[in-house]
């Protein structure tokens, strides 16, 4: 219920992507928001007000001449009630109207009349790729940004006209997540954050290797939470099958050595390093060129191992090291092992948990260990914990 208590005006303008607005309204409501739909005349050519009323439980506003309003000022009343106005789809024509300050129908009136300091304006562009690329549209898009609007997308992909390119409206789930992110406290605004996540895979032969049960879910949740908090985030991910959080730059690696080689050149450019990855401590000295076959009577193969580079310790030892947060997935004596890691690797914070209880799951429970003591974050879903953790880390960061 990330939008609990938020009241959203959902504006629809005349584009084929109006069909997505029905799903978007449902996603916002499922996330806890109340939704007031406002439709332009052209939007009503694609979907009916009855559909949006059925989904939101509220009569759809369609005209500035609504005499059912006590003061006949729908554009004032609706904008004063809203925490945000979200226009999805936002056509090229509607963006042009806003860029020019034109407001001769209800939705544009709402956008212009809104109290900008407490009612955000978010636009999800949707149009043909040539329309989006047109210089006039690009000028108008920049103008509405300069005037305080937030543009969500557009995405690139297949379009209703059959062409492929930029201009496709984001999917409802992506718009919902962007709206949720918009409301998150910007405690890392402008900070540069480097994060590792997932397991590593140390090849024995072309088909086998040494790895662990880390799913990467906690690290990816932290990357999303840091981006929501306003940070510029680079995520170095081991072999996992998870979608990249919005606004996050992702670098995929496989082995511990590859993760080390990706992280070290970047670390000094960042103010914060959060090492959630479960990096293998050892790797085979040599990798077989072909699959090692089981042969009856020849016994069990043996492997000589060598130690992998310690990515976190290497970053913490840099002359201009970032603020370093380590993770410790333990099976017993969690606080003791976490504190030993804190001192051994010279870290500012260690986040510890019971590894077998959380690997692959959507929930976690964390223990924060630093020089001042310990602080427990009770069991919750990993994204909620990630947001809380980001707040805790932000409080500990030195002033920029």
Catalytic positions: 161
For residue 397, which of 227, 249, 273, 255 has the smallest C-alpha distance? 273
How long a stretch of residues is the chain? 400
Percentages helix, strand, coil for the chain (3-state, rounded to 5) are: 35, 25, 40
Count of CB atoms situated within 10 Å of the CB of 7: 15
CA neighbor of 334 nearest in space, from 351, 358, 346: 351
Q: Please, what is the Cα angle at 76 between 72 and 78, to 5 degrees? A: 95
Longest Cα–Cα distance in the chain: 92
Exposure string of 173-212, with b = 16+ CB inside 10 Å and e = fewer, is ebbbbbbbbbebeebbeebbbbbbbbbbbbbbeeeebbbb
The CA distance from 14 to 66, in Å, is 20
Identify which of 175, 250, 261 has the alpha carbon closest to the alpha carbon of residue 220: 250
DSSP of 17-79: THHHHHHHHHHHHHTT-EEEEEE-TTGGGTS-HHHHHHHHSSPPB--TT-TTSTTS-HHHHHH
How remote is the C-alpha of 53 from its chain's centroid? 30
The Cα 157–Cα 145 span in angstroms is 23
């Amino acid at each position: 219920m990330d939008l609990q208590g938020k009241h959203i005006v959902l504006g629809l303008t005349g584009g084929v992507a109006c069909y997505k607005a029905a799903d978007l309204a449902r996603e916002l409501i499922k996330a806890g928001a109340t939704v007031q739909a406002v439709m332009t005349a052209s939007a009503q050519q694609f979907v009916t007000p009855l559909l949006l009323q059925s989904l939101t439980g509220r009569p759809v506003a369609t005209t500035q001449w609504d005499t059912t309003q006590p003061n006949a000022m729908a554009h004032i009343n609706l904008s004063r009630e809203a925490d945000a106005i979200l226009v999805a789809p936002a056509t090229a024509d509607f963006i042009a109207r806003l860029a020019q300050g034109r407001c001769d129908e209800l939705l544009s009136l709402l956008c212009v009349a809104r109290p900008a300091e407490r009612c955000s304006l978010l636009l999800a562009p949707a149009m043909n790729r040539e329309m989006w690329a047109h210089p006039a549209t690009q000028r108008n898009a920049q103008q509405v940004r300069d005037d305080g609007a937030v543009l969500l997308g557009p995405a690139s992909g297949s379009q209703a006209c059959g062409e492929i390119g930029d201009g496709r409206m984001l999917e409802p789930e992506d718009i919902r997540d962007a709206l949720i992110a918009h409301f998150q406290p910007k405690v890392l605004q402008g900070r540069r954050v480097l994060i590792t996540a997932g397991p590593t895979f140390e090849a024995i032969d072309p088909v086998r290797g040494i790895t662990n049960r880390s799913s990467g879910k906690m690290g990816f949740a932290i990357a999303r939470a840091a981006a929501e908090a306003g940070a510029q985030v680079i995520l170095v991910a081991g072999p996992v099958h998870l979608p990249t959080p919005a606004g996050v730059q992702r670098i995929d690696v496989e082995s511990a050595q590859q993760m080390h080689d990706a992280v070290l050149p970047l670390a000094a450019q960042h103010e914060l390093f959060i090492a959630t990855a479960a990096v293998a401590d050892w790797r085979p000295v040599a990798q077989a060129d072909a699959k090692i076959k089981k042969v009856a009577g020849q016994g069990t193969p043996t492997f000589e191992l060598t130690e992998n580079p310690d990515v976190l310790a290497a970053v913490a030892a840099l002359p201009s090291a970032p603020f370093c947060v380590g993770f410790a997935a333990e099976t017993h004596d969690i606080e003791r092992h976490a504190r030993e890691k804190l001192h051994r690797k010279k870290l500012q914070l260690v986040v510890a948990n019971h590894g077998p209880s959380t690997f692959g799951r959507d929930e976690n429970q964390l223990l924060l260990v630093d020089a001042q003591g310990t602080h427990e974050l009770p069991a919750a879903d990993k994204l909620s914990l990630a947001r809380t953790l980001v707040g805790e880390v932000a409080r500990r960061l030195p002033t920029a």
